[in-house]
Amino acid sequence: MPRRLVAGGAAKFEQPIAMRSRKPSYSIPLVPVAALAVMVLLLASAAPVFAQLPSGTILGVVKDNSGNVIVGARVTVSNDTGLSRTFTTDAGGSYRFPELPVGTYRLEVNQPGFKTATER
């Protein structure tokens, strides 16, 4: 490295001009970067919207007192607005009422040979 004398008489080491590091002289176009940032923000903010539905699901399994499932039981849900849906339990004794409007429901289970069960 060459030595160069400066005003105080002391030797100072300097890099030659050709060897000094320089920052690259390119730039990132802002329009695509900004568009990508907006898209990410929109997608991230839209995700919680899907979870906020004004409906719910009632599901369960119909069993007797000894824990055996009841196949073919008639399950009816109804609310105060007059909405009523009926489902017959499957081979596993289960029932499912999807997409019910939010509210209070009455659940009634009927099966020949059994007492009618009602829950609110």
Final residue belonging to a domain, choices 51, 67, 87: 51
Least-confidence region, from 6-10, 56-60, 73-77, 107-111: 6-10
Torsion angle, CA of 86/89/93/97, rounded to 10 degrees? -40
Same domain, 92 and 104: yes
Same domain, 14 and 63: no
Domain containing 25 equals 3-51
Decide: pTM greater than 0.75.
no
Same domain, 59 and 47: no
Same domain, 66 and 42: no
Same domain, 47 and 100: no
Confidence band, pLDDT 50/70/90 cuts, at residue 36: confident
Quote the percentage of the chain above a pLDDT of 70. Answer: 65
